[in-house]
A and B are shown apart, each in its own frame.
Chain A
């Protein structure tokens, strides 16, 4: 089945630790996105990539980093510089370079910082 796989589903980390969230898609989509979802704030864009080896900052990129070495993979690293990392993280992809906005989402990763 085609789709987007995020792992892990739940993750706990101690303050000061970096953590990497995985996102893999087998939809052959060019563009991939990372959003953060917090109650009452909707989804906020962290980073996006429209093509391999290229990515752009979204609205809340500080404290996060990404890479796009392969078309099907777009991992997100939450660094110790992110002041409020506890959140639900959603990865998405879309089919066309340049995009239309029609995104397909993974099931999300819930990160809790202890």
Chain B
């Protein structure tokens, strides 16, 4: 069965620090890859997605992610975080259903 691993459970950063959240998945076939974000008190929403093509994808609010097929990874990055990026971030993999990782809670302090 396919699974998704997020190794960072809780990340604490100061504003302007760089961010990288790890995501690895276990599935050998073709998948679609996603990062979803849940801001405090808000519903889960799409941050960015990869279906095919350029493995470096850009999402909203300056986030980007790189698909490395050989490593089964889809890490999320942002060069300089803001306080408003405080949220929970979920990596997800889609084959015939969408499977989520356990999430990473990001806290950004001013």
- The answer to whether B51 touches A105, judged by C-beta atoms less than 8 angstroms apart, is no
Would you mind naming 5 contact pairs between A and B with Cβ atoms under 8 Å apart? A35-B100, A40-B9, A40-B102, A42-B103, A102-B49
B101: nearest chain-A partner, CB-CB: A42
- The answer to whether A100 touches B43, judged by C-beta atoms less than 8 angstroms apart, is no
Min CB distance B14 to A, Å, is 25
- The answer to whether A103 touches B98, judged by C-beta atoms less than 8 angstroms apart, is yes
> Which B residues lie at the A interface, using CB under 8 A?
1, 6, 9, 32, 34, 36, 42-46, 49, 51, 90, 92-94, 96-103
**Could you say which interface size class chain A belongs to?**
20 to 34
- The answer to whether B90 touches A42, judged by C-beta atoms less than 8 angstroms apart, is yes
Query: Bound state CA distance, A5 and B97, in angstroms?
Result: 22
> Which A residues lie at the B interface, using CB under 8 A?
33, 35, 40-45, 48, 56, 58-59, 90, 92, 99-103, 105-108
B41: nearest chain-A partner, CB-CB: A107
Query: Bound state CA distance, A99 and B99, in angstroms?
Result: 13
- The answer to whether A101 touches B90, judged by C-beta atoms less than 8 angstroms apart, is no
CB-CB under 8 A from A59, the residues of chain B are: 1, 99
- The answer to whether B94 touches A99, judged by C-beta atoms less than 8 angstroms apart, is yes
- The answer to whether A106 touches B43, judged by C-beta atoms less than 8 angstroms apart, is yes
